[in-house]
Structure 1
Amino acid sequence: MTTEVPPWAADAARAALPRPLLFATVSGAHLYGFASVDSDLDLRAVHLLAPEEVVGLRTGPRTLQHTGVRDGVELDVVSHDLLKFVTLLTSRNGYVLEQLLSPLVVVTTPTHAELTSLAPRLVTRHHAHHYLGFAATQEKLYARTGQLKPALYTLRVLLTGIHLMRTGRVETDLGVLATTLAYVPDLIAAKREAEHGPLPAGVARLLASDVPRLRADLEAARDDSALPDRVDPAAVDALHDLVVRTRLGGLPSHEYVGLSG
């Protein structure tokens, strides 16, 4: 996985989001292992609204968004308030699960660590629906445009879903996931040269065979998965306590920043 994340990412996240941050991680192509030289930097975060912004008449923003350019890099920042994020986390939303567990961390706190520790107890077989739906969307985009990017996204999403169903663990790096697809390293190399480049010659025929097969593999992995049908109720109770504690106590004074990968 590439860790070529600008050193200013944490400062950019804080500057873009006028609320205390509980964490900010890198998503998108950097996380998926096929960032291009001209890829956007996608940061996903969780912020904390003050109690008066939740219980009063004037409520604060549950979602914050910012786009801009820094040092020639297009920046896309999206953050949810802690309560909204946790609500999504307890549904079958694989996207927020990937954000929470991203190894590319630019802002983190003990609250982030606590959320991460609870994540395995929130994974169910029904997360497969997220990956099947996301893959279908990307496959339609690929069919319409013939571009490399949606083809890579289709493969990545299906393989992440299969891995999650079989192991209960999140893996998003296509280079790690696609060890049996000999043409994928060449696709990743082509994508790194151009964000919206064309599909290399001859690959369309391989995808026409592999994508339906992987979709069927994901459906079979879901049906055979040892994952539970619903999230652990005790983990939901722990999340409730975490939201209340954090909301009333505010951001921990020992917030820290890091980048790992």
Structure 2
Amino acid sequence: MNIPDLNTIIYQQPYPLLFATISGSHLYGFPSPDSDYDLRGVHILPVREVVGLNTGEETIELSQINESLEIDLVTHDVKKLFLLLLKKNGYVLEQLYSPLILKSTPEYEELKIIANGCVTRYHCYHYFGFAATQWKLFEKEQPRRVKPLLYVYRVLLTGIYLMQTGIVEANLVKLNEVFNLSYIPDLIAAKLTNVEKSVLPDADFSFYQQEYNRLREQLEVASQASTLPEAPSGKAALDDLLIRLRVRSYDS
């Protein structure tokens, strides 16, 4: 799949986009040859579809197969995304700060600055919850797949790094440059060279479980020691940006 093919899908959307990025395994640093493309973005509903009786879609979802690869696109209206930013939602932070950008605007760059004030120490709960879900998936499967285990470690390291630095980093390869876990490169290599459902031969379950528990404890310690604020401070700036975007959609 070429980037121009992805751009075609982006520019076919019914509403103007504030931004669009690539998320999922391509963002996380371990796409297998048959990994789908997870595209995420924010659209701007026109004023008449916000204040009128016939309201527009807050969330638009599109799935299609192109050149034998699946593409999943999800966009939220700008107000919905702003409200999510004011909650402990790590998903939207990762989408917002993804370096794999398909669509950008000056207001998107402004939003990334504002969103720095929306990161709080309570975002750790998002990463605790996501890691627990992926661990249960890995734990119950027979044979056990590489993918959920990589998600477990990616999520925990992202959470720890966020608590320590206030920076959103979702790429496991880059995270491991900081944490230097010896088993991560082998797990990534297994995922990169095989299909999406590649499994762990002779998996040392007790070792992976020990590492899962250790990293959970490290995330707990990092959250308690974090200097991140307890509440977001970007609400007023988000409100101002939202109003400007709506007014512009009305004028156009």
- Identify the TM-score tier after normalising by the shorter chain: over 0.9
**Which whole-Å deviations, capped at 9, do the CAs of 1:40-65 have from their partners, x for residues lacking one?**
00000100100010001110000000
The one-letter code matched in structure 2 to 1:156 is R
Tell me what 1:259 maps to.
Answer: none
Q: Distance in 1 between matches of 2:158 and 2:58?
A: 28
CA contact (8 A) 2:35 2:196 kept: yes
CA contact (8 A) 2:47 2:250 kept: no
Correspondence for 1:54 among 41, 50, 62: 50
Q: Distance in 2 between matches of 1:251 and 1:108?
A: 21
Q: CA deviation at 1:251?
A: 9.6
Report the secondary structure of 1:45's partner residue.
strand
**Which whole-Å deviations, capped at 9, do the CAs of 1:147-198 have from their partners, x for residues lacking one?**
1111000000000000000000011111122342111111111111211110
Tell me what 1:224 maps to.
Answer: 225
Work out whether 1:147 is the aligned partner of 2:145.
yes
Tell me what 2:74 maps to.
Answer: 78
- Residues 114/185 of structure 1: CA separation in 2 closer, same or farther (3 Å cut): same
Work out whether 1:26 is the aligned partner of 2:22.
yes
Report the secondary structure of 1:34's partner residue.
coil
CA contact (8 A) 1:24 1:46 kept: yes
The answer to which of 145-154 and 157-166 deviates more is 145-154
TM-score, length-scaled by structure 1 = 0.91
Q: CA deviation at 1:203?
A: 4.1
Task: State the number of aligned residues.
Answer: 247
Correspondence for 2:154 among 156, 163, 167: 156
Correspondence for 2:83 among 87, 103, 107: 87
Tell me what 1:14 maps to.
Answer: 11
The answer to which of 68-77 and 95-104 deviates more is 68-77
Q: CA deviation at 1:209?
A: 1.1
CA contact (8 A) 1:109 1:252 kept: no
Cα RMSD, aligned residues only:
1.7
**Which whole-Å deviations, capped at 9, do the CAs of 1:46-85 have from their partners, x for residues lacking one?**
0010001000111000000000011222100000000000
- Residues 101/5 of structure 1: CA separation in 2 closer, same or farther (3 Å cut): farther
Q: Distance in 2 between matches of 1:59 and 1:210?
A: 48
Q: CA deviation at 1:5?
A: 6.0
Q: CA deviation at 1:201?
A: 2.7
**Which whole-Å deviations, capped at 9, do the CAs of 1:105-153 have from their partners, x for residues lacking one?**
0011111111111121110000000000111111111111121111000
- Percent identity, aligned pairs only, is 48
Q: Distance in 1 between matches of 2:4 and 2:146?
A: 28
Unpaired segments ≥5 residues, structure 2: none
Report the secondary structure of 1:7's partner residue.
helix
TM-score, length-scaled by structure 2 = 0.94
CA contact (8 A) 2:46 2:250 kept: no
Unpaired segments ≥5 residues, structure 1: 254-261
